[in-house]
Structure 1
Amino acid sequence: MELVCAAGSAQAVLQQPSRWGKCLPRSALLGDCPLSLWARAREEMAKLRKVGGRALACYSPRWPAELKALEKPPPVLHLQGSGKVLLPEAKRVTIIGARACTPYGRAQAARFGAGIAAAGAVVVSGGARGIDQAAMRGALDVGGKVLAVVGAGLDRPYPSEARRLYEQIVNQGGTVLSEFNCGVPPRRGNFPRRNRIMAVLAHSILVIQASRKSGTFSTLSHVEDWAASICAVPGPVDCAVSAGPNYLIQQGCRLVQNPEEVMDSLCPWTLVEPDPEQDEILVALSGGDRRSEDLALELGITQKAIRYRLSDLELGGQVSRLQGGLYHRCQRKSLKPPC
């Protein structure tokens, strides 16, 4: 990467091999240089195009500035999707946790993913089974944006059942990102490298269920030098996969019980709190009590998304559930404790 940045572009390196060639590794000089390098580059670009992907080089003006802080940043990223989730104005929350999570953990991941996405932030995760996929699906269910950072080539979706999930992420304006070339399988050593990218791109990191010795703590090991805050969802003390977040809370990380508290942790990137009078659900409930299915039909939102949003509004004291499944808009009041 240093060579490309010094030369100004990869093309400059290849056009002046006598000038820059001595700086290249020996393996890169085998064969006809620069023709062999061009052939390899063309081959990789053809593979990327075949899966609807493209390359983003470190010297591009669209390169995420956060990656420059890494000790060994990738020279190139491979992307599927729009790439807008990488722009400086995008607010990103990385949600991570156990693959072997409990039903409670899966439900919380979906709830937090939906609430964070509904608030306008990008949900970042690694696409693994369990917490990662539950958080991504929660965000997608409310029409939110997702950034999936994967540990294999874009033509090798892992796990295999995540292929449709990645397609949905791209179709909804999100991005699937990898630093690995097409054809690279999901090797064990790839995932710590993936984790450092998820960490450095995050403005806040949310941990939902993880053991003390897990990939989650590999991700957190990259946070110390960055500005990201760490939040954790507490769990039962006798649950092995709650040991990680409970430990983080003991160490001073922020305990969160709802997505709003995660959004508060984004300071100084805090998003503007939406005006209750502009919230379509609260506006609809101003006209009278309604059932969730009626709200979904009226507002053109899936019932699953409506349930997530009603749950968060209820936790925030803005709506209450009545007998018969009706939802009622509460009077606005301060949630701050009296002095």
Structure 2
Amino acid sequence: MTKEEAIIALSTSPDISPRIIVKFVSLNKNCKDFSEFKKLRFPQDKRDIIQKYLTNTDFRKIKRILEQLKVQVITFFDSRYPKKLLEIPDYPAVLYCRGNINLLNEKNAVAIVGSRKATNYGLRYTFKISKELAEAGIIIVSGMAIGVDGEAHRGALEAGGRTIAVLGTAIDYLYPRSNEPLAKRILHSNSLIISEYPPGYPYFKFNFPLRNRIIAGLSDIVVVTEAAQKSGALITALLALDYNRELYALPADLGKYSSTGTNELIRRGANCLVDTAEILQRFNLDKTPAKKVLLDANEQKVLDLIVLGNDNFDKIKKSSKFSAQELNVILMNLELKGLIELTTSGITLR
């Protein structure tokens, strides 16, 4: 059993925290086979439960689902693991990723979070803020929930920009189900969906506040657009401060309960967001809209296949049914438009 397989096995347990997984793997960083229990070192009082999951996990089933969904597994010791996440004290031991993993380590990411029960004001300005930031090339990070989160993703996509959706559920389970069309749009737009929970992981409400640390950790700046006094978005705001991220809040009517949380954040020292130019200045960017890349139907079809993990010519040719000559022309056009890179080892997203 490899180190990666051990981490996957332990991540299936609700009773083993990411910190314990990281500690266990770090104690055995030179181990070649994690099934040789006699040679392993264990965190205090965790031997039995760790051995249980290392022994009983159905790897064939998990790997089959991962392959079906084109999920890429990135563990904390992987060079592709986001450097920003390693800065926080309770980083995930593993990320299950669908889509463009290059976004994990790109600069200029802004989290936009807020209430699930957002007002029209909150939804309208969330979309506007996200769209303006994405037009300037900023990656929008949010939590794929209804309300503010969904509008943050939609604003980025409308701008032709990129977004990262952080799930509070297993990578193969979307909640709410009503966001399935949005998830498909994200995957077809050179963007990314991630979770720290493997396929089949049980649904727990408390996982949603836990995923907020990933949203804050991946971002340089956190924006709360609308939140009441007890909104879960305020957890992300507090984490942003703990992680030394800049915090912005959108002001609103003092008489509205739906904005008591954001107004309170401003009162306590959060930056008051009245113009996205303030955020763009932090990244030395301006409000000049980025040109939206236009694709014809064939180019979009091939790009969708690449996003879903088809990373070489033969795979794409087989799935797309294009001739070799047609496919060469399409790939060349996608590279000229700055969406992919053709290398001797395969095809990668930019």
Shorter chain as denominator, the TM-score bin is: 0.7 to 0.9
Q: Which entry has the higher C-alpha Rg, 1 or 2?
A: 1
Question: Does residue 237 of the first structure (1) align with residue 258 of the second (2)?
Answer: no
Partner of 1:86: 104
SS of the residue 2:170 aligns to: coil
Cα shift at 1:240: 1.0
What letter corresponds to residue 19 of structure 1 in structure 2?
Answer: K
Partner of 1:167: 184
Candidates 278, 286, 300, aligned match of 1:273: 286
What letter corresponds to residue 255 of structure 2 in structure 1?
Answer: D
TM-score of the superposition, structure 2-length normalised?
A: 0.71
Partner of 2:346: none
Partner of 2:135: 118
Q: 1:22 to 1:227 in 2, by over 3 A?
A: closer
Q: 1:45·1:55 contact (CA, 8 Å) conserved in 2?
A: no
Cα shift at 1:263: 2.2
Q: 1:224 to 1:25 in 2, by over 3 A?
A: farther
TM-score of the superposition, structure 1-length normalised?
A: 0.74
Distance 1:138 1:184 in 2: 30
Distance 1:300 1:62 in 2: 29
Q: What's the Cα RMSD here?
A: 2.5
Question: Does residue 187 of the first structure (1) align with residue 204 of the second (2)?
Answer: yes
Question: Does residue 26 of the first structure (1) align with residue 53 of the second (2)?
Answer: no
Distance 1:29 1:300 in 2: 52
Distance 1:300 1:257 in 2: 31
Identity of aligned residues (%): 26
Partner of 2:319: none
Q: 1:98·1:210 contact (CA, 8 Å) conserved in 2?
A: yes
Distance 1:180 1:214 in 2: 23
- Which runs of 4 or more aligned residues in structure 1 lie more than 4 Å from their structure 2 counterparts after TM superposition? 21-24
Question: Does residue 14 of the first structure (1) align with residue 34 of the second (2)?
Answer: yes
Q: 1:8·1:59 contact (CA, 8 Å) conserved in 2?
A: no
CA offset digits 1:165-194 (Å, max 9, x no partner):
112112111110101121224421101110
Gaps of 5+ in 1: 282-295, 302-339
Corresponding residue pairs, total = 272
| Residues 1-339 of structure 1 mapped to structure 2, 5 A cutoff | 1-8=22-29, 12-14=32-34, 16-20=36-40, 22=42, 25-30=47-52, 36=55, 40-87=58-105, 89-264=106-281, 267=282, 270-273=283-286
Gaps of 5+ in 2: 1-21, 296-350
What letter corresponds to residue 23 of structure 2 in structure 1?
Answer: E
Distance 1:25 1:142 in 2: 50
Q: 1:54·1:79 contact (CA, 8 Å) conserved in 2?
A: yes
Q: 1:30 to 1:183 in 2, by over 3 A?
A: closer
Distance 1:280 1:182 in 2: 36
